[in-house]
Amino acid sequence: MRKNDKRLQEAREHLSFSMELYDLQLRGGRHFLHEHPWGASSWHESVVEDFRAKWQPIVVKGNGCSHGMTTPDSDGRELVAKPTGWMTDSKAVANCVGVTSSNLDGDVKIFEVSSYGKRLSSFQMAPELRGGS
């Protein structure tokens, strides 16, 4: 098996396991939250589509900059507009994560990034938004 094939198989196993955990959460009367890049092919995997058909969760799009995601630049740090998909059963959680811009006044520089950008490894969440920090 080629390295990429193995990684894809492992990713699908992880995704399947995650859907099983969410199912367990919901059957137990608890909530769940799933996050993945908005354009990821995993949203179209059969295990995700089957889960969505069964539970009818809320799916929203949010941007990393709305939650304080930053990356280093020549001026220090800049916000990152990384489109992110969120799936949950909670309307309150969906309203919190489904925010698409923190740049309402247009005076903040925001770095646009795809889910395959080279700068992904340097993203950091603002300490005050991480919780417990």
Q: Judge contact between 16 and 42, C-beta under 8 A.
A: no
Q: Is residue 6 part of a domain?
A: no
The answer to the question of residue 9 being in a domain is no
Is there a domain that residue 21 lies in?
no
Give tens-digit pLDDT for 31-81. Answer: 999 999 989 999 999 999 999 999 999 999 888 777 777 888 877 888 777
Number of domains comprising the chain: 1
* pTM recorded for the entire structure: 0.73
Q: Is residue 15 part of a domain?
A: no
Question: Does residue 7 belong to any structural domain of this protein?
Answer: no
> Does some domain include residue 39?
yes
* Range of the structural domain that residue 106 is part of: 33-130
pLDDT tens digits, 12-34: 999 999 999 999 999 999 999 99
Ramachandran sector of residue 29 (left: φ over 0; alpha: ψ -120 to 50; beta: rest): left
With respect to residue 107, please indicate whether it lies within any of the assigned structural domains. Answer: yes
